[in-house]
Homo-oligomer: A and B are copies of this chain.
Amino acid sequence: MALMIEAEEMAGYLDEVFPQVRGMFEIDELTEERLVMRLHVDEQHLRPGGTVSGPSMFGLADVAAYVATMARIGRQALAVTTHCSIDFMRKPAAGVDLLAEARVLKLGRTLSVTGVLLYSEGSGDPVAHASLTYSIPPARG
């Protein structure tokens, strides 16, 4: 699927619509094939033992699905997550960033479905596997 928004413009758009998480996420790669999104892990994302918290992993998967979808449909600030199913499979490594690899599996008129794998940077085994659905508001005529 062709991109309507490239990485640099998307970064600016994210800062604009989600000012409260500015600096937390970064787009490592954005192509027609996939998106790789980075969570800059710091103190606020950790649980005792240095592992990344569940809500932080959820948040990264959600932002990645949002960005991957927006890149294909253009700015739709009203698109909302309607479902997330996430399997937590391994404990994230301590002291490294978390990466999300997202693929849009379906882009319909009113729904998108995105598959996301989360990895600790430098590791090949996914720590989590998610599927997210976004509801896309009907275009206004």
Contact = CB atoms under 8 A, between A and B. Distances in A.
Interface string A49-83: 00001111011001000000000000000001111
Contacts of A4: none
A106 B113 CA distance: 20
A126 B107 CA distance: 12
Contacts of A55: 55-56, 58-59, 62
B54 A58 contact: yes
A90 interface: yes
- Interface size band for A: 35 or more
A141 interface: no
A120 interface: no
Copies, count: 4
Interface in A77-99: 80-91
B131 A131 contact: yes
A110 interface: yes
Interface string A8-21: 00000000011110
A129 B126 contact: no
A122 interface: no
Contact of A131 (B56, B87, B133): B87
Given A20-B44, A84-B88, A115-B129, 16 more contacts: A18-B47, A54-B81, A55-B58, A55-B59, A80-B88, A81-B88, A83-B85, A83-B86, A83-B133, A89-B113, A90-B106, A105-B117, A105-B126, A106-B126, A111-B135, A138-B138
